[in-house]
Every structure is written in structure tokens, then in C-alpha cells.
Amino acid sequence: DDERMEWWRDAKFGMFIHWGAYSIIGGERGEQIAGGGAEWAMDKLDYTIEEYEKFPAMFNPQLFDADKWVSMAKDAGMKYIVLTSKHHDGFALWDSKVSDYDIMDASPFKRDIVKELAEACRKQDIKFGLYHSIVDWHHPQAQGNLFPNYNAGQKDQSVVNPEFPKYYENYLKPQVKELLTNYGDVDIVWFDGDWIADYTTEMGKDMYSFIREIQPNTIINNRVDKGRNGMEGMDREGNFAGDFGTPEQEIPATGIDSDWEACMTMNGSWGYKPSDENWKSSEDLIEKLVDIVSKGGNFLLNIGPDGYGRFPAESIKRLKEIGEWTDANAEA
Ligand code: JFZ
């Protein structure tokens, strides 16, 4: 639907925000450092559900300032923000009535982060989207053969939990409905975790039309469908599920027919990870932006705020430098 996609195609540049209880952990457990993305701390650092629950219980980001975050995105030339409403760890950053594993009931913070960011975006004329994980390591009905306790030592993602359809109907969908009902326009829903064996194409189709019914103009990424990582399936007949493809940490070749958005990190992690000092330079990030836009894509550049609610200094520096460049070079 061209009309629905119009603002998104014009936008070109957005901010991804990976933030949650894992932002306290920073990818470290004693001497152990998680490889890759620190938002996977629960899995990679072998926390049981019970052990991990202490992090939401500590999550109290007193320096969180939604207006400031949105200004930093805007000053960098970004036109939209996509926040992790729930990552794989299952912890909800909004006031969920479906679950107690949320910012109001499981943490001392007791401020609805989704609400504050949605309102700040609206105020500053920035589009607002949510990343939402299908995978849920905290919910017993969503944990493959790990039921009833997530235990990283026994992971096998090919084993299906027979209860998963109940999680899908009674938890995943109702939570998505809350997000699409209580926060005004949600301009993008960015699903992830479609790879697990439990999730089916039928669920993907159902989820897509479910969202369409609540908010007809929401733009939904391809990972709402099963097995649509990266650009997979974008050429699939009757491209029902996704409005855009999501190549990750790479820029695809030219000549792609469908809409796409490359998402990238500034270092090697989506979630806050102070041990990762492998920062891309501002020049490199600007080059990537130019390359992506010239090939007809959008660029979703990630920030991993810390457990207090601050953007890392290295990220702020890059946002500023990118902003100086976009000020000098962009038409609008
Ligand atoms: C997922 C998450 O597991 C990760 O933590 C982060 O949120 C990222 C944005 O998305 O990881 C993926 C998803 C898709 C691919 C690779 C990693 N893919 O398409 O190759």
C-alpha cells in the first residue's frame, strides 16, 4: 500500500533503541563476557528465570528523559524511533495488564516508558515504532523444551512447546493489542524472533491482519512472518506478511524491488555493552547512510542506553557528528 508507506519512504533515517533489564547487565557476569549482542545476556550468561528476575527488580533508570532522547534523534536527522517494547527476555517496558513482568509491577521505576517516549515523539513530530519479540524466555508457554524453566544448558530451538499457541493467543496478541490501543498511533511494529520452531506462518498472517484491524496505517516489518530474517521471503509470492525487509548489519546490493531498511549498531552490540569499544566512526556511519539511501533503503541506527537511561557518550558523539553532516547536506 503506497499511501501507507509514503512517510516511511521519505523518512530514510531512524533510531533503533535496545533498552531493558539487560542494560543493567552490560553483557557481563563476573569474569564472563557475553559474545555479540549484550541484550542476549539471559541466554548467553546462563541466567535462570529466577536469577534473571532480579534485574527488572533493579531496573530504575532515574536519568531517563524521553524528550532528550527524541531531541538527540531529531538533531541527528532521524525521522523515526523504534523502541524495544519487549525483547527476548520478556520484560515489558510498558504498563501491561496482561502480565506482572512489566515496568509497573516488576520494577521500582513504575513509569510507563512506552508512553513517555510515544508522547515525546508526538511532541517533536517524530514517528514512533516498537520492536516486539515473538521469542519470550520468561513465559513458560513460550520456552520450547525448556519448560518450565529456561535453562541455557539445555537449549534446543528446534523443539516445539505444545503450549506455544496459548502463549500466542493469550499473551503475545493481547500485549500487542495493548501497545496498539493505549499509545496513540504506533507507526511501525518491528517483530523479531520469527525463527523459533513454535512460530508458524499462520500465526504471522493472523498477527498481520490483527494489527491492521486495530491500526490500519501501522507499517509492519517482514519478521512478522516465520523465517523472514534479513531479506528472506521478500520475493515470496503474495508478500502478505511484511511491509518491508530487514537486512541486518549489511547493505544489500542494488535493484531490490521491495521496501527495505538496514539496521545496524554503532559498535557490535544492540544492548548496552561497555566492554565493546569497537565503535564505527562517524564518517563510516555517514557513508553507510548515503550508500543505503542511494540504493533506495532506510537506515535504522541503533543506540543501547545504559541502565540509568543515558545514551553512551560514544553514541552521543556520533549522533552529533551525523547531525552536523545532515544539516549541511540534507534538503529538508
Ligand atoms: C535479532 C535479535 O536477536 C537481536 O538481539 C537484535 O534485537 C536484532 C535487531 O534482531 O537478531 C537477529 C535477527 C535477524 C537476523 C540476525 C539477528 N537476521 O536476519 O540475520
Q: What is the largest CA-CA distance in the chain?
A: 56
What pLDDT was estimated at residue 238? 52
Q: Are 174 and 167 in contact (CB under 8 A)?
A: no
Interface confidence, given as ipTM, is 0.94
pLDDT at 319: 98
Pocket test for ligand 1, best of 248, 267, 300 (most atoms within 8 A of CB): 248
* Predicted local confidence at residue 257, as pLDDT: 76
Distance 120 CA to ligand 1 centre (A): 27
Beta bridge partners of 299: 13, 262
Query: Is 230 close to ligand 1, i.e. is its CB under 6 Å away?
Result: yes
pLDDT per position as a tens digit, 66-92: 999 999 999 999 999 999 999 999 999
Dihedral Cα 107, 110, 113, 118, nearest 10 deg: 160
| Segments in the chain forming alpha helices (H) | 2-11, 22-25, 41-44, 49-52, 66-75, 113-123, 164-167, 173-181, 201-214, 282-294, 313-329
Ligand 1 touching residue 39 (CB < 6 A)? yes
Q: Could you tell me the distance, in angstroms and rounded to a whole number, from the CA of residue 192 to the centre of ligand 1?
A: 7
Closest CA to 322 of 282, 270, 269: 282
d(CA 143, CA 135): 8
Cβ of 28 below 6 Å from ligand 1: no
Q: What pLDDT sits at residue 241?
A: 64
Query: Are 255 and 234 contacting, i.e. CB atoms less than 8 angstroms apart?
Result: no
Residue 268 near ligand 1, beta carbon < 6 Å = no
Tell me which residues of the chain have a pLDDT lower than 70. Answer: 1, 144-157, 228-241, 255, 331-332
Whole-prediction pTM value? Answer: 0.95
